[in-house]
Structure 1
Amino acid sequence: MKLATKQNHSQFAFIVSIPIAILGGLMGLGGAEFRLPILAGPLGYSASQVVPLNLAISLITILISLLVRGKILSLSTVMPYSQVIIFLIVGAMIMAFIGASWAKHLSNEKLERIILVFLIIIGCALMIEGFLPESLPALVPSIPGLQIVVALGCGLIIGLVSSLLGVAGGELIIPTLIFAFGVDIKIAGTSSLLISLPTVIVGLLRYHHQGSFVDKQPLQDTVLPMGLGSLIGAIIGGLLVGIIPSNLLKIALGIILNIAALKVFLHSKA
């Protein structure tokens, strides 16, 4: 159901973005996957509008989360995985650019179906991640050339998902780092933000170049209030890192995300 009046549109966007950003900050995510059903449901945007708007809000959330986590958790912990992170970024940036171009040629109906499938996958990934131990042995052997190839390939997938959903991609980055490269779960959260930042910037610039932000009204009515709410929530979530355990939270949110995605993105078929 869409909001009844335009006056409460911005207020609702601001209020709902705060808990979403808190959860994102706690888990090392941008929270964009939880914004998608809100943008497409109560706020009433089409699938083609949702993606670039979500990317714009994601950029704000990631920047704040990264700054806060940098104060709480030392960024030096990611240095042993710098090679993997760099090639994940390269692959993600390449496909974020390509994916944004593909999205332009998709109808709203096709894009809605793609978003639904990806959100269900992400919801399941969150639930699986909730059961993961603090660290796991790496599935990819510590062979530099092999790790580069795997990181580049995984980056391409992450970039595609990011550009087609308008998400930061942390839901896929974190399990990739843990399973494939044996990164500790807390370090993976910080690393995911470092990887997501350039990925989101590339996708956002590509959508801007394609004219997605010609209409400034959604930026004023939605991106600005959601960005402000995300600023508050990201700071709170970042400060709570290490205090509130996130495993059970991820399992619960994975279930909620799947339910919300099905409810919102199947509405047109009802």
Structure 2
Amino acid sequence: MSQAEATHPRSIPRLTASWAFAGGAVVGLVGGLVGLGGAEFRLPLLLSVFGFAALAAVIVNKAMSLVVVIAAIPTRLAAVPLTEVASHWTVVLNLLAGSLLGAWVGASWATRLAAATLYKVLAALLVFLAVVFAAERMGTLAALQLAEPVQIVAGVAAGFGIGVVAALMGVAGGELLIPTLVLLFAVDTKLAGSLSLLVSLPTMLVAFFRYSRDQAFAVLGQNRRFVVAMGAGSVAGSVTGGLLLGVAPEAVLVPLLVVLLLASAVKVWRHT
């Protein structure tokens, strides 16, 4: 991948602050309506609408995911007592033991993959997230009854996989962390949402630091106004969507979002 391809999006449409804010707000709203940050929907937007190359889109998506997670932490901590969150510190450390390494490995892979290969990987991961999203929303997750040593090993392995996926796509990983917390550690969904942020933040910082060592990281400086505007829109949309959580019926919303992810995967796969 050339430096020009990695850092400069193609020129359709103009990367105006207003379009960037609107795109971020829509994505944030959609994500907020289903309790997510929306990064999995922002990535196809960056690739297909704003024309960023694969690696540049991942880096921009990671920067905005980081902003959204930081903005969400005070709200989540207010919704769940700090003492309850703190009592599960071993669970957070268990997942971090794998996710920090996974984030470094995933970001390293992304910077080394050829552009054509990275598009295929991103398309496959979009399909994977669509399947996980549909399975989580359409069924009730039951905690696995694992012996403690097995649970610890499974937590590290799951954390590693989540760290890799989150780094490769530039997402926070909440769509994978929450079901993992429920399945492996028998954490209720509301608490899992708060714990996932505590895992996501350091995991994203590791990936962000790894990306900062690559020349493609210059995309953030070269498109500063765009990044700031879309980041602000993403936060505003996420907050609004969170306030409206449950308003839109999941029986309608979930299938539409799954179709959107699958359609985006096809478009990204065919990207040239």
TM range (shorter): 0.7 to 0.9
Distance 1:57 1:173 in 2: 18
**Equivalent position SS for 2:51:** coil
Contact 2:13 2:49 in 1 (8 A): no
Residues 1:91 and 2:95 are matched in the alignment: no
The residue that corresponds to 2:7 in the other structure is none
Amino acid at match of 2:41: F
Structure 2 counterpart of 1:154, from 153, 158, 168: 158
Asked if the contact 2:29/2:241 (under 8 Å) is kept, the reply is yes
Asked if the contact 1:129–1:175 (Cα under 8 Å) also holds between the matched residues in 2, the reply is: yes
Distance 1:5 1:158, change over 3 A: closer
User: Is the contact made by 1:75 and 1:190 (CA closer than 8 Å) also made in structure 2?
Assistant: no
Q: Does 1:62 align with 2:69?
A: yes
Q: Secondary structure at the match of 1:212?
A: helix
Residues 75/29 of structure 1: CA separation in 2 closer, same or farther (3 Å cut): farther
CA deviation map 1:129-172 (0-9, x unaligned): 11133xx442142x432222111110000011011111111121
Structure 2, unaligned runs of 5 or more: 1-9
Over 3 Å counting, the alpha-carbon distance change for 1:81 and 1:253 in structure 2 is farther
Aligned with residue 194 of structure 2, among 167, 190, 196? 190
What CA distance in whole angstroms lies between the structure 1 residues aligned with 2:184 and 2:219?
42
Of 73, 86, 106, 2:113 maps to 106
Counterpart AA for 1:109 = A
Structure 1 residues 1-270: aligned runs within 5 Å: 4-6=12-14, 9-133=16-140, 136-141=141-146, 143-241=147-245, 243-244=246-247, 247-248=250-251, 249-268=253-272
Conservation of the 8 A alpha-carbon contact between 1:25 and 1:65: no
Q: Distance in 1 between matches of 2:121 and 2:13?
A: 30
| Shift in Å, 1:75 | 4.2
CA shift in 2, pair 1:255/1:16, >3 Å: same
Given the two structures, how large is their TM-score scaled by the length of structure 2? 0.86
Tell me: CA distance 1:5–1:180, structure 2 relative to 1, closer, same or farther (3 Å). Answer: closer
Structure 1 residue ranges without an equivalent (≥5): none
What is the SS of the residue equivalent to 2:206? Answer: helix
User: How far apart are the structure 2 equivalents of 1:39 and 1:184?
Assistant: 33
CA contact 2:60–2:220 (8 Å) conserved in 1: no
Q: Give 1:9 deviation, angstroms.
A: 3.5
Q: Alpha-carbon deviation of 1:263?
A: 2.4
TM-score by length of 1: 0.87
Spell out, residue by residue over 1:21-72, the C-alpha distance to the aligned partner (whole angstroms, 9 max, x if none): 2333444433111011110011001111111111001001111122222223
Closer/same/farther in 2, CA of residues 217 and 75 from structure 1, 3 Å limit: same
Counterparts of 2:247 and 2:13, CA distance in 1: 37
Percent identical pairs in the alignment equals 36
In the comparison of the two structures, how many residue pairs are matched?
A: 262
Q: Which amino acid aligns with 1:172?
A: L
One-letter amino acid matched to 2:144: L
